[in-house]
């Protein structure tokens, strides 16, 4: 989570710039605030298991991040954490299964699917690629985020723009790719 918070802080202005073209121009600032709260909460009371870390992080994001990002990222982390359970150590395979459950919860909450120009365009291929390696998951998420550029948004605020959403990278897919890159960096 510390690596994710650092990545979000470093890239917040770029995320906000992406969001200014097709959203509310607050994605980076909102995530920066949310991940700062996550870091503070984890430092105050360090959870004992990876699942508990994700549950705590998800709760913090839901309570501190405005718009759709808080509930969506909060759901992703909480459902992934719940799927991990109380295990003290988690294999890459178990994390992949848990992440797949988290991604499914996000899809259900947002009513989106891959190809709708959302965070799912990065998360779904990353969850699938995690079976291969952390690096493959990072690469799949980055490719998925880039693939949103020619798409027409079908969900979220960007969908109101219709054809004008084409040609812009989705900020949610981009921030999802940042989180997967942080995971790959830490997992090595």
* DSSP characters over 54-112: HHHHHHHHHHH--TTHHHHHHHHHHHHHHHHTT-SS--HHHHHHHHHHHHHHHHHHHT-
Q: CB-based contacts of 109: which residues, under 8 Å, 6+ apart?
A: 71, 72, 75
Percent of the chain with pLDDT over 90: 97
The chain-wide mean pLDDT, for the chain, equals 96
Question: Nearest 5°: phi and psi at 90?
Answer: -130, 130
Question: From CA 144, how far away is CA 121, in angstroms rounded?
Answer: 5
CA dihedral 120, 122, 123, 126 (to 10 degrees): 150
- Position 19 scores a pLDDT of 95
- Which pLDDT band, with edges at 50, 70 and 90, does 29 fall under? very high
- Position 152 scores a pLDDT of 97
Question: From CA 188, how far away is CA 80, in angstroms rounded?
Answer: 20
Question: From CA 101, how far away is CA 106, in angstroms rounded?
Answer: 9
Residues 43-49 have a mean pLDDT of: 96
Give me the residue label for tokens 């120009």.
117
- Which pLDDT band, with edges at 50, 70 and 90, does 34 fall under? very high
- Position 67 scores a pLDDT of 85
The CB density around residue 134, as the number of other CB atoms within 10 Å, is: 21
pLDDT digits (tens, 9 = 90+) for 144-167: 999 999 999 999 889 999 999 999
b/e per residue 100-115 (b: at least 16 CB within 10 A): bbbbbbbbeebebebe
Mark residue 67 as left, alpha or beta (left: phi above 0; alpha: psi -120 to 50; beta: remaining): left
Res. 66: pLDDT tops 90: no
pLDDT digits (tens, 9 = 90+) for 107-145: 999 999 999 999 999 999 999 999 999 999 999 999 999
The CB density around residue 89, as the number of other CB atoms within 10 Å, is: 7
Question: From CA 187, how far away is CA 172, in angstroms rounded?
Answer: 22
């Amino acid at each position: 989570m510390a690596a994710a918070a650092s990545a979000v802080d470093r890239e917040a202005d770029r995320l906000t710039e992406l969001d200014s073209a097709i959203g509310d121009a607050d994605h980076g600032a909102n995530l920066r605030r949310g991940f700062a709260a996550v870091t503070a909460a984890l430092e105050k009371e360090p959870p004992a298991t990876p699942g508990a870390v994700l549950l705590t992080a998800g709760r913090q994001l839901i309570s501190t991040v405005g718009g759709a990002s808080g509930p969506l990222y909060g759901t992703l982390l909480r459902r992934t954490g719940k799927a991990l359970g109380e295990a003290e150590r988690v294999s890459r395979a178990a994390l992949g299964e848990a992440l797949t459950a988290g991604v499914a919860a996000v899809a259900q909450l947002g009513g989106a699917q891959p190809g709708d120009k959302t965070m799912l365009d990065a998360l779904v291929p990353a969850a699938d690629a995690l079976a291969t390696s952390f690096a493959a998951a990072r690469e799949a998420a980055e490719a998925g985020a880039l693939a949103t550029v020619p798409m027409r948004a079908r969900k979220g605020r960007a969908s109101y723009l219709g054809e004008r959403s084409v040609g812009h990278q989705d900020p949610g897919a981009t921030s999802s790719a940042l989180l997967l890159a942080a995971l790959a960096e830490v997992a090595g």
